[in-house]
Structure 1
C-alpha cells in the first residue's frame, strides 16, 4: 500500500481540518511576541506571554486528554478548539489590554485545544485500514513539519506587513474553521471501555511512564540543537544569521525521516528501534558540539532531523502497543505534554549553563543528561515489556508498511524556542 492510497476524501478532509487547527498553535509563541513588542519592555512581556501559552498547553494536554471519550470525541474536540479560537481572537481584538488579561488569554489559548492533537491522531487511525496506519501517521508527521516550517514566516509577514495583532486574528479564524470542519469527519472512533480490564484511565496512563520519559529524553536533544545553536555559531566564528537556514534544514530532515520510516518495515522491536535512533541523534548532537566546520554542523542537523523523526514515530507506536484503544487519545496527549516539559527543562538548563560555560560545553552537559534519562527509561521499559511477555505474547502492530507511528515532532519544541 503506497502513500497515494491515502489520498481519499476522508483523509484529505482530515488533513485540512488538522492543518487549520495546527497553524494557530505553530504561530502562537512568535505571534505573542509581535503582539506586544512595541510596548515598553515588549520583548520581555512577549516572552512571558509565550511562557503562559506553553504552560497552558503542558497543563491542558494531560488534563483534557484524559477526559476524551471515543464515542463523543467530536463534541469534546469542538469544545476545546472553540475555546482556543475565542482566546486567540480575544488576544487580537483588545490587543492593548492589561498584561494580566493577555497572560490569562494566552494560557487559555494554549490549554483549551491542547488535547486536539491526540484526539485528531486517534481519529486518523480510524479513517484508514489497519495496513495503512503506518503511512497515515507518517503523512501526519510530514503535514506537521510543513506547518511548522511555514508558520513563522507567515506570522512575521503579517505582523510587520499588516498589524501586530493580525496573526492572532488569523489564528482565531483558522481555529474556528477547524471546529466547523470537524463535522466533515466521523464523530469518533470505535473503542470499548472493557479493553481497560477494569483499570482506571489514570492508572493505565501512569503505567506507560517509561515511554513518556524516553520521549522527553529525545526532546532534550532537540532543545540543545535549537536553543544553543546561535551561541555555538558565534563560538565557531560563523554568522548567527545562519541559525535560521540550519534549523530549516533540520525541519526538512524530520519530514524526510517521517517519509522514509513509513515506506518499509524496519528490523527490531519498537523499543529497540527507538533506542538505536536516539543513539544516532545523540551522535549528531555531539558532532555539533565537537566539529569546528560549519558544514559538519549542517550535516549533523540534517541527519539528526531524519533520525529524530524516527524516534518520535517509534515512541508513539510503542504507546499504541502498551495502551488500549479507549485511552490512546489520552496517551498521545500525555506524550505531547511530556515532550514539551522535557524541552522546557532542557532549555532552562542550557540557559543557565551558557552563563558559566561555553556553548559546546553546554551541549555536552545536555547530552549527558539525555543519556542518563534515556538509560533509566530504557531499563524500566524493558522490565515492563518482559513482564508483559511473561503473562502472554506482546502484540506487535502489523501493517503492510511495517511498524511505525507518528508524533508531531518538534511542535512544542519550536513553541518554547520562539
Structure 2
C-alpha cells in the first residue's frame, strides 16, 4: 500500500482536529513550569503541577477510554475536550490562584481529554481501508512527533516573549477549536455489537497486557535518556546547550522512521518486529552512555528515533490485531496511560540514580530495565494459537484483520 490511500479530505480534517487536541498536551508540562516560575519556589511548584497533570492523564485515559462507545464516540470526545479546554484556560487566566486550585485545574486538564488520543486514533483507522491502516498510523505518528517538536519552542517563545499565561490560554483555545472540528469527522467507527463475545471490557484489555508493557518500556528508555542527557553532557565536558539539537535529532529520526515504516510491508510478525526494534533501540541508548563526541551522539540518537518509531507502530498495530473494534479506543487509551506511567517512572528513576551514580551509569541501568520489560512483554505475547475470531479456552482471541497489504501479522499471540 502507498500513502495515496490515506490522502483525502477526511484525513486532512482529522489532522486539523488532532493538532488542536494534542498540541495542548505536548505543551502542558513546560507551560505549567513557566506559569509559576516567578513565584517563590516556582520551579518546584511547576514540577509538582506538571506531575499532577501527568497523573491526571494516567488516571483519565483508561477510565474514560473504557466507557467510549464506538458508534457514538464524537459526543464523548467533545465533552472531554471541552472540559479540558476550560481547565487549560482557567490555569492561564488564574495564574496567582492557590497552589491547590492550580493543582486541581492541572489534574482536570490532564484527565478530561485523556481518552482523546485513543478515540481519535480509532476514528482515523475507521476512515481508511483496512489495508491502509499501517499508512494511516504512520501519518498519525509523523504528526505527533512534529507536534512534540514544535510545542516546546512555541511555549518558550510565548511565555518569555509575551506572557507566562499565554501558552495555557492558547492551549485552551486550541482544544476548544478541536471540539468544534469534531463535527467535521464521523460520529464513530464500525463495530459489531457482539464482537466481544460477551466478555467484559476489562477482561479483554487485561489479555493485552504484554503489549502495554512493551509500549511503556519503549518510551521509558528514551525518556530516561532524554532526562539524563543534560547531566551526561556535563559529565563529558560538552556544552549543555547541545541538549536541544540532540533531542531534535531524536524527534526528526522518529518522524523519518514513522514515514519509512509505512512505505512497505515488513517481514515477520509484529511481535518479532517489535522485539528486534526494541533491542536495537536499547543498543543505541547503551551507545549513548559511552560515546564521547557530539557527532556520534547526534547520529546514534537519530537512529534511535527511527527505530523507536517503528517499535511504537508495531505496538499500535498489535493492539488492532488482538482487540475487537469496540475495544480499540479503550486499548489505545490504556496504552497512552501505560506510556505516561513509563515516562513518570523513568523521571523518578533518573532523579534517584543521578544522586548515587554517574549519568552514563544511570542510562545503562535504565536500558537494562527496559530490556527486562521488553523480554517480559514478548514472553507474555507467546501464546497458543486459536482460530480467528474464536475465544480459546484460556480466553484469548486470535487476530481478526490482516495488516499492511495482507500480511496476517501476530497470528497466535
Task: Return the TM-score normalized by structure 2.
Answer: 0.94
Backbone CA RMSD of aligned residues: 1.7
Task: Give the whole-Å Cα distance in 1 for the aligned partners of 2:209 and 2:352.
Answer: 27
Per the TM alignment, residue 170 of structure 1 is displaced from its structure 2 partner at its CA by: 0.5
Any idea what the Cα deviations from partners look like across 1:321-344, whole Å, max 9, x if unmatched?
A: 111010000000000000111121
Q: Tell me the equivalent position of 1:114.
A: 114
Contact 1:134–1:401 (CA under 8 A) maintained in structure 2: no
Q: CA deviation at 1:393?
A: 6.5
CA positional deviation for 1:41: 0.9
Contact 2:124 2:136 in 1 (8 A): yes
- Are the equivalent residues in 2 in contact too, given 1:60–1:110 (CA < 8 A)? yes
Structure 1 contact 263–401 (Cα < 8 Å) conserved: no
Check the 8 A contact 2:131/2:402 in 1, yes or no.
no
User: Mind listing any 5+ residue stretches in structure 2 that lack a counterpart?
Assistant: none
Q: Is the 8 A contact 2:281 2:308 kept in 1?
A: yes
User: Secondary structure at 1:195's aligned position in 2?
Assistant: coil
- The CA distance in 2 between the partners of 1:149 and 1:366, in whole Å, is 24
1:362 equivalent to 2:362? Answer yes
Residue 280 in structure 1 maps to residue 254 in structure 2: no
Deviation at 1:387, TM superposition (A): 6.0
| CA–CA distance in structure 2, aligned partners of residues 200 and 393 of structure 1 | 17
Does structure 2 conserve the Cα–Cα contact (< 8 Å) formed by 1:49 and 1:102? yes
**1:140 match:** 140
- 2:187 is paired with a residue whose SS is coil
Aligned residue number for residue 400 of structure 1: 405
1:294-346 residue CA offsets vs partner (Å, 9 max, x unmatched):
22211110000000000000011111111101000000000000011112112
Deviations 1:392-417 (A, max 9, x none): 9744523339689xxxxxxxxxxxxx
Report if the CA contact (8 A) 1:225-1:301 is conserved.
no
Contact kept, 8 Å, 1:220 with 1:343, in 2: the verdict is yes
**Following TM superposition, by how much is the alpha carbon of 1:219 offset from its aligned partner in structure 2, in angstroms?**
1.6
SS at match of 2:287: helix
Equivalent positions of 1:112-261 (< 5 A) are: 112-261=112-261
Per the alignment, in what secondary structure is the counterpart of residue 196 of structure 1? Answer: coil
Could you tell me how far 1:293 is from its partner in structure 2?
2.4
Match for residue 291 of structure 1? 291
Displacement of 1:291:
1.6
TM-score of the pair, normalised by structure 1? 0.93
Deviation of 1:260 (Å) = 0.2
Change (3 A) 1:25 1:115: same
Whole-Å separation in 2 of the counterparts to 1:171 and 1:401: 40
Q: Measure how far apart 1:161 and its partner are.
A: 1.3
| Counterpart-to-counterpart distance in 2, 1:135 and 1:82 | 30
**1:363-395 CA-partner distances (Å, limit 9, x unpaired):** 111111112111111111113x54678959744
Conservation of the 8 A alpha-carbon contact between 1:65 and 1:118: yes
Tell me the secondary structure at the aligned position of residue 194 of structure 2: helix
Preserved contact between residue 20 and residue 174 of structure 2 (Cα < 8 Å): yes
Instruction: Report the CA distance between 1:2 and its aligned residue.
Output: 2.7
Note if contact 1:191-1:325 (Cα within 8 Å) is conserved in structure 2. Answer: yes
Q: Secondary structure at the match of 1:193?
A: coil
After superposition, give the CA deviation of every residue in 1:182-205 in whole Å (9 maximum; x if it has no partner).
Answer: 000111111013010110001101
Looking at structure 2, the residues matched to 386 and 72 of structure 1 have their Cα atoms a distance apart, in angstroms, of 33
Aligned equivalent of 2:329: 329
* Structure 2 counterpart SS, 1:35: helix
Match of 1:83 in 2: 83
Equivalent residue of 1:198, what SS? coil
Match of 2:7?
7
Structure 1, unaligned stretches of length 5 or more?
405-418
What secondary structure is seen at the aligned counterpart in 2 of 1:228? Answer: helix
Alpha-carbon spacing, 1:298–1:181, altered in 2? closer, same or farther (3 Å):
same
Identify the residue that residue 94 of structure 1 maps to in structure 2.
Answer: 94
Question: Is this contact kept in 2: 1:24–1:174, CA < 8 A?
Answer: yes
Hey, what's the Cα distance between the residues in 1 that align with 2:174 and 2:195?
A: 36
Distance 1:103 1:350 in 2: 24
The verdict on how the C-alpha distance between 1:244 and 1:18 changes in structure 2, with shifts beyond 3 A counting, is: same
